Structure 1
Amino acid sequence: MEDWNEDYEEALDAFVIWMKDAGYTYYTQKSYLADVRQFLDSLNGKELGAVKKLHVVSFLTSVRERGVSDATRNRKHASVNCFFKALAELELYTVNPAAGIKKSKTEKNREPVYLDESDLQRFLSAVDGKYKDRNLALFILMSYMGLRVGEVHTLNLGDYNVERRTLRVFGKGRKWRNVPVPEDITPFLDRAVEERLTPWRGKEEALFISQKGRRLSIRGIQQIATDTFARFQQELPEAQRRAYSSHKLRHSFATMLLRKGADLRTVQELLGHSSIQTTTVYTHITSREKEEAMSRLQIRMPQL
């Protein structure tokens, strides 16, 4: 990798300041910076003011040719687009060469992977170990209240209102939403609060604490989920095991709600989606439901 010239370093520093001011999470900042550095390296020292749309398209083409998915290619495009948008807003440059480039077409109709209610109960039964109460509570928040991994990570003690049985959730786009806590879930949350690990810092407000005494990280939650899903599927032949992850618990929550007759608008609010179009991905129909629908037909065929 070539040494960064002063123009790049100034632009990168400005980009970081812009992202922090805009409220981007640490993880988003980290991934966007990595993408932008990769793009800048592809410029071979070209001045940012001389970058054209062709250079951005060339970069995106090269990453696709290296075998990345369309979704990853689109994320890298979003990173570069955000970078030039920041520089324009900070009045360092006036042109955004990444604007107007079409996204790659991803598979829109792919059904989300989820667990049905019986599988979900078996998964929660697979939660075990020294920190069982904590881990069970965070999985319940994702599977029966629809929280994202990052939202579980940012929860503070003060976000749980015991009297009103509500949870204040800080979601995407720096938006807050209040989610009702079902009565059956309350004992598990109460237990998690009672058994909360002692934080390393006395003023730590995180609801979920790691064994090191810090706020439980997103990566930590994902690893706990990976280990639990492995136990959940350990008796299945390898060919039958599915690629479950912590986010699949949120998929399960949305699927269960819609199957119970909840309207799409309510599910959108509970999930914290800014657009109802995002929520429609959960309106998938399973093969079993298709078979049940077809079995209701009264078929009268002529004799062969």
Structure 2
Amino acid sequence: MAVREIGTDKYQLDVSRGVGNRTRMVFYGSKAEAEKAYTYLKRQCDQEDGRQKKSYNNIGDLVNAHLEYEKLHKAHKTWEEKDRILRGPIMSMFRKMHFDFVYTSTIEAYKRKRVNDIGKKHRAINLELIYFSGFWKWAYQNGYCQTMPIKMSKLPYKRKPPKVLTKSECMAIFHNAGPHRQAMFLCLYHAGLRANEVMTLKRYNVDFTGCSITVIGKGDKTRTVPMTQTLSEAMKRHFSLMDDLISNPKTKVPWDETLAFPSLRTGKQLTDIRRPLWNAIEKAGILKKVTPHILRHSFATHMLEADADLRTIQELLGHEDIATTQVYTHVAINKKRTAVDLLE
């Protein structure tokens, strides 16, 4: 049979292309949609056979090439997450399908399957759909399919307001860190950098004349963040001490002199900055669980509390969507509500 039902709203499309040559794909949707997809698939296969085009690739045939592309254009941690998701849950359903036959009903079937698999972890499923849509866009741009990605509605998810520190807690951390770490932590709090942006920051991207830092963020997007006087002085002090270390003939560390914050132990790029932060937190007597990203959250929240413009904060943080920045308004309004409640 050309269209064979193999499960609930699940069909196998089978196009014969001569002796020993056939194209098979899995399709999720109604019987009518499956038959429509089969007609389209057969027409495409006939065109390919006549014009000797590239083979009609299943989604599973493209994942390696896409991930190789992503590896060159994404941060390593982002690439690892994409690799895990695309090879895991996405391939478990879409491996034998083709992008041209993915409909809204197919995406809805995927969401139902994932909710059954992992429960109400809607944020995780929404991220899977984002990565799948990016994969589809890449396939379209490279001629592997004829349809652009369809709009995929997200599962309802209410993001928890981020945890933040008070200004006094932030200052206590800086006062209990050495000059190298102090400059590093101030990049998180006074400039709103991500941890990975701090670890990969280059010295030549710190401009003391213009008092600003050029940041290479997610997706290699560049943004310019002004330095406060406190951050500028801390960076000058840090660079001066680094120059002394690098020029010391007794130092046998092979320094990467392009990095703003090389590892003081290896001279190479840092892979984690949590441990030195935890050491400063312990010395400061702060009992909260603190991560480097909480300093970035605190940067955004404290600026909102000071009535800074939301769009400006979005640009400083490097958020592509202002909805991501708006999560900080919940934190700021809660503090204002607490202050107003004092009138009761």
- TM-score, with normalisation over the residues of structure 2? 0.68
Asked if 1:16 corresponds to 2:62, the answer is no
Structure 2 CA distance for aligned equivalents of residues 101 and 49 of structure 1: 13
1:273–1:41 CA distance, 2 compared to 1 (3 A): closer
Structure 1 residues 168 and 40 mapped into 2: Cα distance closer, same or farther (>3 Å)? Answer: closer
1:289 aligns with 336
CA separation in 2, counterparts of 1:47 and 1:269?
39
Which of the numbers 233, 236, 240 marks the counterpart of 1:187? 233
- Alignment partners' CA distance in 2, 1:51 and 1:126: 58
AA matched with 2:152: I
Residues 29-68 of structure 1 mapped to structure 2, 5 A cutoff = 29-39=79-89, 41-43=91-93, 46-48=96-98, 52-53=102-103, 56-64=107-115, 65-67=117-119
Among 258, 275, 283, the alignment partner of 1:205 is: 258
Match of 2:145 in 1: 93
Identity rate, percent: 24
Larger radius of gyration: 2
SS at match of 1:85: helix
Shift of 1:114: 0.6
Which residue matches 2:132?
80
Greater fraction of residues in strand: 2
1:147 aligns with 2:198: no
d(CA) in 2 for partners of 1:44, 1:88: 16
3-state SS of 1:100 partner:
coil
- Residues 38, 232 of structure 1: alpha-carbon distance in 2 compared, 3 angstrom cutoff: farther
Instruction: Give the one of 268, 283, 298 matched to 1:214.
Output: 268
Is 1:159 aligned to 2:213, yes or no?
no
> Is residue 156–residue 207 contact of structure 1 (8 Å, CA) maintained in 2?
yes
Aligned residue type for 1:32: K
AA in 2 matched with 1:282:
Y
Counterpart of 1:94 in structure 2: which amino acid? Answer: Q
How far the C-alpha of 1:9 sits from its partner, in A, is 6.8
Structure 1 residues 156 and 66: alpha-carbon distance in aligned structure 2, compared to 1, 3 A threshold? same
Instruction: Note if 1:271 corresponds to 2:271.
Output: no
Deviation of 1:269 (Å): 2.7
Compared CA separation, residues 40 and 200, structure 1 to 2 (3 A): farther
Separation in structure 2 between the aligned mates of residue 69 and residue 200 of structure 1, nearest angstrom: 46
Native 8 Å contact 1:264 1:279 kept in 2: yes
The equivalent residue for 1:111 is 161
- The answer to whether the 8 Å contact 1:39/1:80 transfers is no
Query: Does the C-alpha gap of structure 1 residues 39 and 208 become closer, same or farther in structure 2, counting only changes over 3 Å?
Result: same
Pairing partner for 1:124 from 165, 174, 194: 174
Please report how far the alpha carbon of residue 256 of structure 1 lies from its aligned counterpart in structure 2 after TM superposition: 1.6
Q: Tell me the secondary structure at the aligned position of residue 230 of structure 2.
A: coil
Q: In structure 2, how many angstroms separate the alpha carbons of the residues matched to 1:275 and 1:44?
A: 28
Rounded Cα–Cα distance in structure 1 between residues aligned with 2:69 and 2:59: 15
Q: Secondary structure at the match of 2:199?
A: helix
TM-score by length of 1: 0.76
Q: Is the 8 A contact 2:214 2:224 kept in 1?
A: yes
State the superposition RMSD in angstroms: 3.2
Q: How many residues align?
A: 277
Mapped to 2, the partners of 1:249 and 1:106 lie a distance apart of 24
* Displacement of 1:174: 3.1
* Residue identity matched to 1:214: K
Q: Does 1:136 align with 2:179?
A: no
Shift in Å at residue 95 of structure 1?
Answer: 4.4
Displacement after TM superposition at 1:50 (Å): 8.3
Report the alpha carbon displacement of residue 263 of structure 1 after superposing the two structures with TM: 2.5
Query: Which of 164-173 and 42-51 deviates more?
Result: 42-51
Q: Contact 2:90/2:128 (CA < 8 Å) preserved in 1? A: no
**Higher RCO (CA < 8 A, seq sep 6+):** 1
> Residue 39 of structure 1 aligns to a residue in which SS?
helix
Q: Distance in 1 between matches of 2:274 and 2:129?
A: 26
Unpaired segments of 5 or more residues in structure 2? 1-56, 247-251
Aligned-partner Cα distance in 2 for 1:49–1:14: 15
Shift of 1:49: 6.0
Q: Distance in 2 between matches of 1:247 and 1:111?
A: 13
Q: CA deviation at 1:206?
A: 1.6
**Paired letter, 1:205:** T
Indicate if the aligned counterparts of 2:191 and 2:225 stay in contact, CA closer than 8 A. Answer: yes
Distance 2:79 2:196 in 1: 14
Contact 1:39 1:59 (8 Å CA) reproduced: no
Cα distance, 1:41 vs structure 2: 4.5
SS state at 1:179 partner: strand
Which residue matches 1:300?
none
